[in-house]
Amino acid sequence: MDEFDLIHSITPRTIHHSSVDVGIGDDAALYTAKHGVQEIVCVDTMVEDVHFKLHYSSPEDIGYKALAVNISDIAAMGGIPKFYLVSLAVPSKWTESEIKAMYEGMNELAKLYHMDLIGGDTVSTADKLVVTVTVIGEIEKGQACLRSLAKPNDIVFVTGEIGSSAAGLSLLLEETNPQNSSVETDYFIHRHKRPEPRVSVGRLCSIFKRAALNDVSDGLASELNEIAEASCVSIEIVESMLPIHSDLPKLHPNWKEWALFGGEDFELTGTVSNEEWEVLKQECAALHLPITKIGYVREKTKSKVILKTDQTSMILEKKGYNHFK
Amino acid sequence: MDEFDLIHSITPRTIHHSSVDVGIGDDAALYTAKHGVQEIVCVDTMVEDVHFKLHYSSPEDIGYKALAVNISDIAAMGGIPKFYLVSLAVPSKWTESEIKAMYEGMNELAKLYHMDLIGGDTVSTADKLVVTVTVIGEIEKGQACLRSLAKPNDIVFVTGEIGSSAAGLSLLLEETNPQNSSVETDYFIHRHKRPEPRVSVGRLCSIFKRAALNDVSDGLASELNEIAEASCVSIEIVESMLPIHSDLPKLHPNWKEWALFGGEDFELTGTVSNEEWEVLKQECAALHLPITKIGYVREKTKSKVILKTDQTSMILEKKGYNHFK
- Supply the pLDDT for residue B325: 35
Nearest residue, CB atoms, A132 vs list B22, B25, B132: B132
8 Å CB contact of A125 and B121? no
According to CATH, the topology of domain A147-322 is Phosphoribosyl-aminoimidazole Synthetase; Chain A, domain 2 (3.90.650)
pLDDT at position A325 over 50: no
Confidence of residue A141 (pLDDT cuts 50, 70, 90): very high
- Supply the pLDDT for residue A179: 72
Q: Do the annotations mark residue A120 as ligand-binding? A: yes
Nearest residue, CB atoms, B47 vs list A40, A51, A125: A125
- Supply the pLDDT for residue B1: 59
- B81 beta partners: B137
Nearest-Cα distance to chain B for A241, in Å, is: 25
CB B104 within 8 A of CB B14: no
Q: Which residues of A touch B88 (CB under 8 A)?
A: 45
Which H or E element spans position A155? strand A155-159
Inter-axis angle of helices B96-112 and B3-10, nearest 10: 20
- Supply the pLDDT for residue B63: 98
Q: Which residues have a Cβ under 8 Å from the Cβ of B303 and sit 6 or more positions away?
A: B234, B315, B324
Half-sphere exposure of B12 (CA within 13 A, CB side): 23
CB A297 within 8 A of CB A152: yes
Substitution target in B3, B11, B26, B46 with the highest count of A β-carbons within 10 Å is B26
> Smallest Cα–Cα separation from A197: which of A155, A147, A135, A247?
A135
B281 backbone dihedrals φ, ψ, rounded to 5°: -60, -45
Give the separation between CA A145 and CA A149, rounded to whole angstroms.
Answer: 7
Comparing alpha-carbon positions, the chain A residue that sits nearest to B40 is: A30
CB A242 within 8 A of CB A309: no
Q: Which residues have a Cβ under 8 Å from the Cβ of A18 and sit 6 or more positions away?
A: none
Nearest residue, CB atoms, A40 vs list B30, B44, B213: B30
| Mean pLDDT across A253-276 | 96
Give the separation between CA A216 and CA A202, rounded to whole angstroms.
Answer: 13
- Supply the pLDDT for residue A183: 79
Inter-axis angle of helices A164-172 and A185-193, nearest 10: 100
Give the separation between CA B279 and CA B256, rounded to whole angstroms.
Answer: 30
8 Å CB contact of A40 and B29? yes
Q: Do the annotations mark residue A191 as ligand-binding? A: no
Half-sphere exposure of A218 (CA within 13 A, CB side): 16
Q: Which residues of B touch A125 (CB under 8 A)?
A: 47, 50, 128, 130
| Domain B3-140 top-level CATH class | alpha beta
Interface A:B, Cβ pairs < 8 A = 196
Domain ranges of chain B: 3-140, 147-323
- Supply the pLDDT for residue B322: 65
Percent of chain A's residues with pLDDT above 90: 85
Report the CATH superfamily, name and number, of domain B147-323. Answer: PurM-like C-terminal domain (3.90.650.10)
CB B151 within 8 A of CB B273: yes
Nearest residue, CB atoms, B45 vs list A39, A47, A132: A132
Q: Which amino acid is at A92?
A: S
The three-state secondary structure class of B190 is helix
Nearest-Cα distance to chain B for A146, in Å, is: 7
Confidence of residue A5 (pLDDT cuts 50, 70, 90): confident
Q: What is B16-38 written as a DSSP string?
A: S-TTEEE-BTBSSEEE-PPTTEE
> Smallest Cα–Cα separation from B118: which of A133, A28, A41, A45?
A41
Q: Which residues have a Cβ under 8 Å from the Cβ of B311 and sit 6 or more positions away?
A: none
B202 backbone dihedrals φ, ψ, rounded to 5°: -60, -45
Give the separation between CA B218 and CA B201, rounded to whole angstroms.
Answer: 19
The three-state secondary structure class of B247 is coil
Nearest-Cα distance to chain B for A183, in Å, is: 33
Known binding-site residues of B equal: 27, 44, 51, 73, 103, 120-121, 147, 215, 217-218, 264, 321
Question: What is the per-residue pLDDT across B199-247, written as a single tens digit (0 to 9) for each?
Answer: 999 999 999 999 999 999 999 999 999 999 999 999 999 999 999 999 9
Give the separation between CA A187 and CA A165, rounded to whole angstroms.
Answer: 9
- Supply the pLDDT for residue B178: 78
Give the separation between CA A150 and CA A148, rounded to whole angstroms.
Answer: 6
The rounded Cα A261 to chain-centroid distance in angstroms is 14
8 Å CB contact of A128 and B126? yes
- Supply the pLDDT for residue A241: 97
CB B77 within 8 A of CB B144: yes
8 Å CB contact of B42 and A35? no
Nearest residue, CB atoms, B39 vs list A33, A44, A125: A33
Confidence of residue A13 (pLDDT cuts 50, 70, 90): confident
Question: What is the per-residue pLDDT across A171-209, written as a single tens digit (0 to 9) for each?
Answer: 999 888 877 777 789 999 999 999 999 999 999 999 999
B211-215 and B80-91 strand pairing: unpaired
> Smallest Cα–Cα separation from B279: which of B206, B210, B204, B211?
B204
- Supply the pLDDT for residue B39: 98
Q: Which residues of A touch B136 (CB under 8 A)?
A: 41
The beta strand positions in chain B, using DSSP E, are: 20-22, 29-31, 37-47, 80-91, 116-125, 130-140, 155-159, 211-215, 234-238, 268-272, 291-298, 305-308, 313-316, 321-323
Q: Which residues of B touch A127 (CB under 8 A)?
A: 126-128
Q: Which residues of A touch B46 (CB under 8 A)?
A: 123
DSSP code of B153? Answer: T
Half-sphere exposure of B228 (CA within 13 A, CB side): 27
What's the ipTM? 0.94
Least confident of A24-28, A74-78, B152-156: A24-28
Q: Do the annotations mark residue A16 as ligand-binding? A: no
Comparing alpha-carbon positions, the chain A residue that sits nearest to B134 is: A134
Positions in chain B whose pLDDT score sits under 70: 1-2, 321-325
